[in-house]
Homo-oligomer: A and B are copies of this chain.
């Protein structure tokens, strides 16, 4: 259905002046996220609330007029979770940017539009740390992190977003604002609704405030970089390390990625290596260096070609930054379809081999980076959008990689979310009965189906 002009005027009147954008030129940048969903269209309007009450006003209006609401953070999502649909209103949290850190309770109470990096910085002012660190941490919002249950590089030791969310304020489909959980480190009063809303990708409510657990500042890290002549040798090393140690980072890059990063950053990486691992220990004091030394032994035992270790935090950060730069570096080779499949750890070599096989069969370049310690890979499928046949082959490879992950007992998405781009594969992974449970929960909380319709379900 089309939104009547007087309905939009009614919404505009219900919101503070300047909150609602309807100028098509302004709307264009709100139509899709980084996934560039080909089905994206201009929304009818974009609301940019600053307060929970304004989000409530939008939802109440949307319920009355049956208008789809698309919650949106920074638009850095990679699965089309923030694709605008026809005659929808995008709720952008860009102006919801307050944060309060309580160092005694060790929590931060943040509005959703704050960047992950800003949350980290606010915590650091008090000697505290908010661990989850998606590679996009300098541009993604904490609200988006909550919506996708975002992961990152240090999650192999410190866990993902949901492990740090103590409480939420959420506006439900009918405009009711509820507080779930709160500033209590342990709280089992009632169903685990806070956890249900984390990772729900805007399909159950709009998060307007997040209460985050903070921990003492991370000690300085020691870092290891090792190169391998085969992916299997690198994967063996990952299993050997995680068997007895808890690295604070354990990342993998394949030959294509190494080359792309070296092209961009000129760091002197070994372009002939088939695989590279970057590992870190943040164990306190001298133990970090001892642990890195044990990890180096594991690399050597698996036949690493080169092993470099450093206890200089800046030098170590350069390698971590190289890893974080992998996606932009590979993006210089063409447009990307960004995968996010994960498998049980021992299946990592089979996954990486299978991806190489798909790349050969489909004749597309696929670079692989991975949060190896979590079994979570990001195959980056490179294609030229001007070459329709290649774009189609890339699209097929995208699906085949998910099929492969499912066949290995894995997941179609480790940390990016299902959004719209991966929705067709979700039933294959979780099965019809779990889809039915999902639909029942969605129906119970959003009976009109106005919250981010088309995402997940």
> Could you say which of B106, B414, B437, B443 contacts A186, with CB atoms under 8 Å apart?
B414
Q: How many residues of A contact B (CB 8 A)?
A: 92
Assuming the contacts A178-B437, A431-B179, A440-B445, asked whether A192 and B185 have C-beta atoms less than 8 A apart, the reply is no
CB distance from A422 to the nearest CB of B (A): 8
* Count of this chain's copies in the oligomeric assembly: 2
Residues of chain A in range 151-204 having any CB-CB distance to chain B below 8 Å: 151, 155-156, 159-160, 162-163, 172, 176-180, 182-193, 195-196, 198-200, 203-204
> Could you say which of B283, B373, B375 contacts A184, with CB atoms under 8 Å apart?
B375
Q: CB of A43 within 8 A of chain B? A: no
Q: CB of A426 within 8 A of chain B? A: yes
**From A186, A244, A415, residue with most partner B Cβ within 10 Å:** A186
Nearest chain B residue, comparing its CB with the CB of A340 = B188
28 pairs, CB–CB < 8 Å, chain A vs chain B: A104-B243, A105-B346, A151-B186, A151-B188, A179-B431, A180-B434, A184-B410, A184-B414, A185-B342, A185-B345, A185-B376, A186-B342, A186-B371, A187-B413, A189-B411, A189-B422, A190-B426, A190-B429, A190-B434, A191-B203, A191-B441, A192-B196, A192-B200, A193-B438, A196-B196, A283-B283, A285-B285, A444-B444
A interface residue numbers (CB < 8 A to B): 103-107, 127, 148-149, 151, 155-156, 159-160, 162-163, 172, 176-180, 182-193, 195-196, 198-200, 203-204, 215-216, 239, 242-246, 283-287, 290-291, 342-346, 371, 373-376, 409-418, 422, 426, 429-431, 433-435, 437-438, 440-445, 456
